[in-house]
Amino acid sequence: MCTFTFPPENNGVANAAFTHARMLRQLGCRVEVVTAGERLSQGEENGLQVVRFPVRGQGHLLSPSRGAVSDLRAFLAQGSWDVVFTHCWQAWNSNEVLDFFGGADRAEKVVLVSHGLSTDSDSRPFPLNLVRRLIWWPYRRFRVPRYLRRLDRLVLLWDHQDRDRFLDHLMARELGVPVAVVPNVARYDAVAARRPALALGADELAGGFMLCVGNYSKEKNEAFVLEAYRLSGKKHLPLIFVGHRRNPYCRVLEHTAREHGLRVEFCTGLDKHEIDWLYREASLFLFGSRTECQPLVVLDALASGTPCISTDVGCVSSLGCVTVVRSPEEMAAQIRLYVSDPELRRERGEQGRALADREFSLSACGAKWGRLMNDLGAPGATE
């Protein structure tokens, strides 16, 4: 069989989509991946056949599909697939695919893998948040229900419902759309973990440290974590931030840390193996994001056996082994509790590792994809 996987132009989601494609290939499916690129290209990448189109756009009036859209549509017209997977709402890929494969007489199965519907998500205060909601309102009101009705399956990252990022789950239930749950895969790798070059010395980290991984932005809200750390009074344990690169937001955090005499290091440019070492060695993982669906950094921390304290975003509260907080003061209180209770840290760390092994490992997620493919009647798929 040939399965068509369609990752969007978003690094985090694209990584998850490529992982999904590799798992389908391991199940015996022939897989072709289509995604964004700077120019039209086709070839093999990491063992997968990948076609790239220079297409952009989100789907609202200010950002329609643009670029090589006609080439993309011509490609769709000449293809022959048993199952079409498209990843992520509010992106050119899902919009174009679901518009194209909308006929009642189509032979292929169509599956959307949701990474959260964010049409109603905006952390800015009223009335600033109205601007984004108004821009996305036609998409949310008309296109999402139309697309849902065209799906043979909506794949969710967790069996969770809310009026934020899991709003599509509520809408699917109301419309009677079949739903499956296949979570993200935790990417933590203990074997390949490697100590990064840090300004903090080995003696300074010997008593433990706290960790926050994000990308230095208002959305990831590292300022929340920094304030909680300051309020906790646990300055004897350093706090390490990891982000993609230094930016104005990071520089404000650095200034705040210096101003309060906090033992904080801000890291950039670390590779995955170095971050995995930090996950493994950390005493606590702290997360202050404003909006998420199923944050990969939390899954990686759980897989490493590091206890997590997080804001109430996405499905975090329903994981069962993450301590959820709603203010820096609450996070500070939980930091003090965890630091004073090694047995609690051990217990929560073991619970997180067990959950990750059971739900977020490659084998667990691969088995769920296998069951889904068999349910869809896709030829060639094996569990």
> What digits encode the pLDDT tens for the residues 294-309?
999 999 999 999 999 9
Q: For residue 345, what pLDDT is reported?
A: 97
Give CA 326 to chain center in angstroms: 21
**Token pair in block for residue 243:** 């982000």
Contact assessment for residue 42 and residue 71, using Cβ atoms and an 8 Å cutoff: no
Mean pLDDT for all residues in the chain: 93
Q: For residue 241, what pLDDT is reported?
A: 98
d(CA 383, CA 372): 9
Q: For residue 12, what pLDDT is reported?
A: 78
d(CA 135, CA 133): 5
- pLDDT tens digit sequence for 17-43: 899 999 999 988 999 999 999 999 999
pLDDT above 70 (res 70)? yes
Contact assessment for residue 182 and residue 368, using Cβ atoms and an 8 Å cutoff: yes
Instruction: Give the Å distances, CA to CA, from 99 to 86, 96, 109, 119.
Output: 12, 5, 14, 19
Q: For residue 299, what pLDDT is reported?
A: 97
CA angle 195, 236, 299 (to 5 degrees): 50
Q: For residue 1, what pLDDT is reported?
A: 52
Q: What is the mean pLDDT of residues 163-182?
A: 96
Q: What is the mean pLDDT of residues 360-370?
A: 95
d(CA 230, CA 236): 11
Confidence category of residue 125, pLDDT binned at 50, 70, 90: confident
pLDDT above 80 (res 359)? yes
- What residues form DSSP beta bridges with 309? 286, 323
Contact assessment for residue 55 and residue 39, using Cβ atoms and an 8 Å cutoff: no
Q: What is the mean pLDDT of residues 234-241?
A: 96
Listed in sequence order, the residues at least 6 apart from 182 whose beta carbon sits closer than 8 Å to its beta carbon are 113, 155, 156, 157, 365, 368, 369, 372
SS3 138: helix
pTM for the model: 0.92
- pLDDT tens digit sequence for 267-276: 999 999 999 9
Q: Where are the alpha helices (DSSP H) in 206-361?
A: 222-232, 248-259, 272-281, 296-303, 328-340, 342-359
Q: What is the CA radius of gyration of the chain?
A: 22
Percentage of the chain with pLDDT > 90? 83
With residue 82 as reference, give the H or E element that holds it: none
Confidence category of residue 361, pLDDT binned at 50, 70, 90: very high
Give CA 147 to chain center in angstroms: 22
Q: What is the strand order of the sheet 264-268 is part of?
A: 264-268, 239-243, 210-213, 284-287, 308-311, 323-325
Listed in sequence order, the residues at least 6 apart from 230 whose beta carbon sits closer than 8 Å to its beta carbon are 260, 262, 332
d(CA 366, CA 78): 29
Confidence category of residue 6, pLDDT binned at 50, 70, 90: low
Confidence category of residue 104, pLDDT binned at 50, 70, 90: low
Q: For residue 46, what pLDDT is reported?
A: 84
Q: For residue 78, what pLDDT is reported?
A: 87
Length reported for the chain? 383
Give CA 170 to chain center in angstroms: 20
Handedness of CA 162, 164, 169, 175 (dihedral sign): positive
